Amino acid sequence: MNKTANISPFVNEPFVNFSLEENKQAMEKAISKVKSELGQNIPLHIGEKKVFTEEVITSVNPGNLGEVIGYVSKANQPLAEEAMQIAVSTFETWKRVPPRERAEYLFKAATLMRERKHEFSALMILESGKNYAEADADTAEAIDFIEFYAREILRIDQINEIQPLTKVQGEDNRLTYIPLGVGVIIPPWNFPLAICVGMTTAAVVSGNTVLLKPASTTPAIAHKFVALMEEVGLPAGVINFIPGSGAEVGDYLTSHPKTRFISFTGSKEVGLHISKQAADTSEGQIWIKRLIAEMGGKDGIVVDETANLDAAAQAIVASAFGFQGQKCSAGSRAIIVEAVYDEVVEKVKELTEKLAAGLPELNYPAGPVIDKASYDKILNYIQIGKGEGTLLTGGSPAEGNGYYIQPTVFADVKPDARIMKEEIFGPVLAICKASDYKEAIEIYNDTEFGLTGSYFSSDQDRIEEALETMHCGNLYINRKCTGALVGAHPFGGFNMSGTDSKAGGYDYLLLFTQAKLTSRKL
């Protein structure tokens, strides 16, 4: 019997068109509802217990600093240890739950999230500073991850029964994929729902239990997801919600002997720190810890003289300034051949100057950056950029009671400049001139990262060369370098961009499992 016969095909969740008045009003209504619920105390989830702590993480709207999103209980090492022991004991029962039953929890969660899509997006708008389209895309991706991984575990379950091993007479040989154990999930703030949901559901649907430590700037939206999973009946202790300090709780858990794997998305520096910690063996540890890491990028768009220049300019601006450039996939470099350099630069300048900054809840195209540390860091890079290139537009803070920075474009930047080399993670674009398309590709490849890239051309031979030689995990032709879709664009990069894992891809769940061969003499 084909166990996959009743698995419906995966289809991406559609994006909402907010140019339609009814959709705009629906989002405004959701924002009003969420605003009426702000300022609540949010507990830790440790097994069946809801723990409120005296010390809290105060989540603040980065676009309106007087607005508190919530007061989130903050775990310490004793609470993290309690959560670890709960996760260890729960794993013994959860790993025996059939994959189809695990998948059903995810299907139910996707249905509920879809019904409440605008509420999830509205909370992200307020907590992370995303505009309507960016928040809606984040929620849609979260739904996609849930649906996709639920289907994937059913496919793997089917593979477990019919693995095409070489036949040996007189033996029954089977290869199956079994869960790893307890994992530490450390998601980022820039996709505070989608990536948090994707990392967590991939682990638990594979039969693991987890300790979820969300980013300290966006813990409320992570808790909304955890509460949803509790609502659909996921057994207590499968997901343990423990916000806390990276230095105190994060380091403690990544070094813990019972931690079997760490799934991390964030900066290169933190990822390398976790990698070093995971490599050390703690007393009582009986395995090599597995690390699944996505660590950032310095992504770029290459434009040659045969390209559609209007489309290229639009893609450059969308890639550089979507969610204020706070994406690991953001196109923070544009490398343009000199024959069309001036024309493309002027188009980019004009498009960028149309990006007005303001409150995300009013759906301005440019919102705030996430916090004061990011704000100061980005403004410092802008000062560096003023000494490394020609400031075309922006270059200063923007008005508003939040962390607003004008979308900023520097032209005539040298390939070895800091703003061409270092990940800024903000609304700053560096434009570099190349003599021809070959040099442009060389400049693109001259980076320690390798996450996303884009090449604009109408010459098929050049496109083929770019496909072969541009070294990154996700390469796009004649489109922006952001906006990977689950299932269609498995996402993850090379070099210092991470461990080459592909979120939303057909081999991703295998990272949360281990292969076991059984051989039975007949």
CB 183 within 8 A of CB 260: yes
C-alpha closest to that of 350 among 342, 339, 358, 340: 342
Phi-psi region of 275 (alpha: psi -120 to 50; beta: other; left: phi over 0): alpha
Tokens found for residue 457: 């051309």
Which amino acid is located at 245 in the chain? S
Q: Which two tokens stand for residue 518?
A: 């059984």
Candidate list 294, 305, 361, 423, residue with the active-site label: 294
Contact 259, 183 (CB under 8 A): yes
SS (H, E, C) 88-120: HHHHHHHCCCCHHHHHHHHHHHHHHHHHCHHHH
Euclidean distance between CA atoms 145 and 295, whole angstroms = 19
Under DSSP, the state recorded for 414 is: -
Tokens, residue 488: 């269609």
223 φ, ψ (degrees, to nearest 5):
-65, -35
How far from 413 is each of 54, 381, 498, CA to CA, in Å?
Answer: 50, 13, 27
CB 228 within 8 A of CB 241: no
Instruction: Give Dmax (Cα) for the chain.
Output: 77
196 classed as catalytic? no
- Which of 194, 220, 204 shows the shortest CA–CA distance to 43? 220
End-to-end CA distance of the chain: 23
Q: Is 152 a catalytic residue?
A: no
**Would you state the structure tokens that stand for residue 416, as one six-digit string?**
């070895």
Q: Which of 457, 426, 178, 220 is nearest to 335 (CA)?
A: 457
Among 196, 328, 472, 481, the one annotated catalytic: 328
Q: HEC profile for 467-514?
A: HHHCCCCEEEECCCCCCCCCCCCCECCEECCECCCCECCCCHHHHHEE
Cβ-in-10-Å burial (0-12, 13-18, 19+) of 485 comes to: middle
Query: If you count them, how many residues does the chain have?
Result: 522
* DSSP reduced 3-state for 61: coil
Name the residues annotated as catalytic.
294, 328
